């Protein structure tokens, strides 16, 4: 059987769908299931059982011989959370326990790292192990993810096969519950489409640039559709060699203006965009440019093309947001 932590969340629940679509149903969902908004992410999926995340280590001690793979996707992902202790508990200490369990019981592991580990990008975006100790993330979330990557690379004893994946800016279905931390695509759609109700006035609001090197809306990010994420994960589950830390983006940075225009195009409306100040609490920790170097993943055989920003946004909006559907 396969274990997925964070299985009720955004990427974790999409991974459950990917596995179900491949005929895999012996899946154990690990998460905090107390949030009722997450229930629709997993209620119609095929799985074996649910395990509360704080009961997981007792559970694994009894069931480890039946586990063929663990995907550790669960994390505290709020980049506006500045209490380091919170991030250390879930993103560092919990992850260490998952790693140690996989090592002890000989279980292959794929875990979620983050592009937030790269900080302001001064050292580039190469997924080179030699650079990990030099990176300077801008917030506790990025710090906690990088501290785990650093710890992993020091381990002499490892799971039989492992991958740490540095997710870049992921968007797509099943992120409805994320509130402020949902993707810009999700928020832009709800602002642009008056049919969604609420206070929408049909105007997309983007952060004004506070960096003279970038015009308003010209901030660049590597946006990746969640279906590409789970396709790569599925490939690696079957690849089972070349362990290490790898980037997972498209390799092509796009502007927020490109994103907003693609959202309007997907709902057949003219673009209406307004710039607002970046919130003070994240302004000095804001990444103005991210772009994954993808040579490393390509070098081990992953050759599938990624969704373009426009094609991913169109599918997300037309296939999921307009119909309020789950993947």
Closest CA to 5 of 97, 142, 141, 117: 97
**Scanning the structure block, which residue is given the tokens 């673009």?**
271
Catalytic choice (178, 194, 252, 296): 178
267 is written with which tokens? 């709902």
Which of 141, 246, 307, 316 is labelled catalytic?
141
Please name which of 193, 191, 190, 186 lies closest in space to residue 223, comparing C-alpha atoms. Answer: 186
Distance separating alpha carbons of residues 192 and 114, to the nearest angstrom: 29
Instruction: Using CB atoms within 10 Å of the CB of residue 199, give its burial: 0 to 12 exposed, 13 to 18 middle, 19+ buried.
Output: exposed
Per DSSP, the three-state class of 114 is strand
Q: Is residue 234 flagged as an active site residue?
A: no
Alpha carbon distance 277, 261 (integer Å)? 20
Q: Which two tokens stand for residue 144?
A: 């906690």
Active site (annotated) includes residue 272: no
Tell me if 171 sits within 8 A of 118, measured CB to CB: no
Q: Is residue 206 a contact partner of residue 256, using CB atoms and an 8 Å limit? A: yes
Helix, strand, coil percentages in the chain from 3-state DSSP, rounded to 5: 45, 15, 40
Give SS3 for 135: coil
Q: Which residues pair with 255 in a beta bridge?
A: 220
Which residue has tokens 């509360």?
A: 52
Cβ neighbours of residue 101 closer than 8 Å, sequence gap 6 or more? 57, 60, 64, 70, 107
Continuous segment of H or E residues that includes residue 259: helix 256-266
> If you search the block for the tokens 């000095």, which residue do you land on?
284
Q: What's the token pair of residue 268?
A: 């057949």
Q: Which residues are catalytic?
A: 141, 178
């Amino acid at each position: 059987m396969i274990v997925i932590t964070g299985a009720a969340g955004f990427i974790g629940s999409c991974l459950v769908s990917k596995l179900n679509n491949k005929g895999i149903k012996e899946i154990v969902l690990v998460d905090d299931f107390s949030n009722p908004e997450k229930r629709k992410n997993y209620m119609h999926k095929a799985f074996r059982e649910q395990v509360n995340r704080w009961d997981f280590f007792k559970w694994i001690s009894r069931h480890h011989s039946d586990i063929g793979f663990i995907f550790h996707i669960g994390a505290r992902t709020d980049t506006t959370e500045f209490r380091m202790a919170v991030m250390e508990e879930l993103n560092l200490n919990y992850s260490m326990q998952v790693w140690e369990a996989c090592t002890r019981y000989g279980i292959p592991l794929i875990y979620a790292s983050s592009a937030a580990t790269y900080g302001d990008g001064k050292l580039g975006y190469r997924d080179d192990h030699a650079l990990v100790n030099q990176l300077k993330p801008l917030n506790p979330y990025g710090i906690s993810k990088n501290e785990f990557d650093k710890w992993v690379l020091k381990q002499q004893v490892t799971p039989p096969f492992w991958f740490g994946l540095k997710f870049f800016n992921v968007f797509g279905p099943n992120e409805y519950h994320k509130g402020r931390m949902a993707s810009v695509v999700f928020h832009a759609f709800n602002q642009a489409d008056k049919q969604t109700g609420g206070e929408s006035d049909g105007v997309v609001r983007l952060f004004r640039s506070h960096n003279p090197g970038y015009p308003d809306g010209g901030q660049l990010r590597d946006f990746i559709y969640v279906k590409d994420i789970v396709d790569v994960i599925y490939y690696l589950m079957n690849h089972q060699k070349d362990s290490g830390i790898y980037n997972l983006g498209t390799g092509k940075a796009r502007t927020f203006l490109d994103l907003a225009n693609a959202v309007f195009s997907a709902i057949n409306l003219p673009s209406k965009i307004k710039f607002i100040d970046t919130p003070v609490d994240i302004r000095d920790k804001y990444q103005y440019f991210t772009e994954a170097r993808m040579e490393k993943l390509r070098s081990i055989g992953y050759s599938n093309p990624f969704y373009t920003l426009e094609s991913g946004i169109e599918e997300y909006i037309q296939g999921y947001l307009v119909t309020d559907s789950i993947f």
